[in-house]
Structure 1
């Protein structure tokens, strides 16, 4: 499993959501199923809104898990993904309980202090499970 921590230089929550949408679009265009994991229901709804409007000249087919778990890009919390071996974009503060079902995991980190602490803990947790997470500067 490939695990990457994409590190943003800002603390703006919107930058993190925009990056998640861009990465979801890139993975979907590469033919991979995508699961966007929000931190809570409110963030899932924000992601849904962002996917509709972040890029005016293209569309990313997506849906909330409860509405269509088979969508190319699924937004949810801890639900089991309909497709295995896809990409998990984790915006949650903890590891997904479904992490083993994905071939690639992307964590998006910004400079917000509480989020930095949570992401550092996630990084350690992946290492403790025997994975070799990588850091990617954006």
Structure 2
């Protein structure tokens, strides 16, 4: 059964989600996980791509878009097809992707922005109704 972790950040800034996704991705990658970062649109994916290149000067997180790196260790994708990925899904969209159930773990990143918070509540209800194992992590600082 898929385990879903909600990371609740102490910020109202939507861009904090992308910064946290970079940190989470680096940590998971260093632990040997394959990560699929699901973005809401191409602009968000491009922003996340730029942040992954620059978020930490001393580290390198190998990643690429799903179109050119479909089986890569860290893939940034859109739409309803995540290919063969099934380890860790970092969902940055405001809705639960149709393929979420094929992953061992799902990370939902939440900030205090009303739109994002409301979408996260809907996602939490969906996951709970589907019987997923849920955990929330209220971070005190970024």
Unaligned runs of 5+ in 1: none
Cα RMSD between the aligned structures? 1.0
Residue 14 of structure 1 and its aligned partner are, at CA, apart by: 2.1
**How far does the alpha carbon of each residue in 1:109-136 deviate from its partner, in whole angstroms, 9 at most, with x for none?**
0000011000000000001101131110
Q: Secondary structure at the match of 1:133?
A: strand
Q: Secondary structure at the match of 2:60?
A: coil
TM normalised by structure 2 equals 0.93
Q: How many residues align?
A: 137
Residue in 2 that maps onto 1:96: 97
Higher relative contact order (CA 8 A, sep 6+): 2
Instruction: Provide the rounded CA distance (Å) in 1 between the counterparts of 2:70 and 2:84.
Output: 6
Q: Secondary structure at the match of 2:37?
A: strand
Residue 70 of structure 1 and its aligned partner are, at CA, apart by: 1.5
Unaligned runs of 5+ in 2: none
Residue in 1 that maps onto 2:81: 79
TM normalised by structure 1 equals 0.95
Residue in 1 that maps onto 2:14: 13
Residue 62 of structure 1 and its aligned partner are, at CA, apart by: 0.1
